[in-house]
Amino acid sequence: MRNIFLTCVIIIFSTPFQVNAQQSAKNLYLAIGFGGTSYRGDLTNKFESWGGTFHAGLSFNKKKRVNGYLHLMIGGVRGNNDSYTFNSTETTTPNTYFKTSLISLGYEIRINILKKESFCFYVSPGISLLRFDSKDEFKNSYSNQFATRAKGEEYSNISLMLPVKVGGTYYLTNGYGIGMDAGFLNPLTDYIDNISQWGNKTKKDNLLQLNLLLYIPLK
């Protein structure tokens, strides 16, 4: 996938530019790109251990102020803290490592703070459906490892997310665009790391993301 992305970039910059042509954004784009996703939760005090992420989507660009973005994300994150223990007088056995895949499909509203013919800068709140599956070092899912959670504690590996991002796009004279965005994914689950009741933090797990995107004009 990464090689395909790099090949597209090379082709785009090899496309002849009209030196005197006015840069112009199109109304509909296919967006593809790569980025990094980082986790913060019970096993870490800060965002770290970045995992790779692939992105694809449709970016609607007709309106001046507010446009939509239909978005697919595929990636993963991990966390590890060998010294982690739950502050309790009872005997507890929480996991100290996890690695999970992340697959989400969602819709974002891109609110343009500044939009010109050749570039735009936006804030992008949205809603997404996330599927994750936390696993141990041996690639076994934690969902059926009940000893890693409190008695009777179960959860779904599907959750909503309420991402909030900021980003920008620069439009080339050949109609293509190159952009970046960054923000928090804000999953509405505390089980990205398989730890909740035996967690020492009151805040839910969160994910930070930084992405580089290529916009291919469709219309």
Confidence of residue 20 (pLDDT cuts 50, 70, 90): very low
Q: Is pLDDT at 103 greater than 60 in this prediction?
A: yes
Q: Is pLDDT at 171 greater than 90 in this prediction?
A: yes
Give the length of the chain: 219
Please report the pLDDT score of residue 3 as a whole number. 53
Confidence of residue 191 (pLDDT cuts 50, 70, 90): very high
Q: Is the CB of residue 60 less than 8 Å from the CB of residue 27?
A: yes
Region 142-163 average pLDDT: 96
Q: Is pLDDT at 10 greater than 50 in this prediction?
A: no
Q: Is the CB of residue 100 less than 8 Å from the CB of residue 133?
A: yes
Query: Cβ neighbours of residue 52 under 8 Å, at least 6 residues apart?
Result: 34, 35, 36, 37, 75, 76
Please give the mean pLDDT across all residues of the chain: 90
Confidence of residue 49 (pLDDT cuts 50, 70, 90): confident
Residue environment code for 4-19, b if the CB has 16+ CB neighbours within 10 A, otherwise e: ebeeeeeebeeeeeee
Q: Is pLDDT at 99 greater than 60 in this prediction?
A: yes
Q: Is the CB of residue 65 less than 8 Å from the CB of residue 179?
A: no
Q: 71-89: per-residue pLDDT in tens?
A: 999 999 999 999 999 988 8
Region 111-138 average pLDDT: 96
Q: Is pLDDT at 33 greater than 50 in this prediction?
A: yes
Please report the pLDDT score of residue 67 as a whole number. 97
| Torsion region of 139: left, alpha or beta (phi above 0 gives left; psi -120 to 50 gives alpha) | left
In whole angstroms, what is the distance from residue 104 CA to residue 143 CA? 19
Q: Is the CB of residue 36 less than 8 Å from the CB of residue 50?
A: yes
Domains of the chain listed by start with CATH number? 2-7+21-217 (2.40.160.20)
Q: Is pLDDT at 11 greater than 90 in this prediction?
A: no
Confidence of residue 24 (pLDDT cuts 50, 70, 90): low
Pairing type for strands 119-135 and 158-161 reads: antiparallel
Q: Which residue reads 């982690």 in tokens?
A: 84
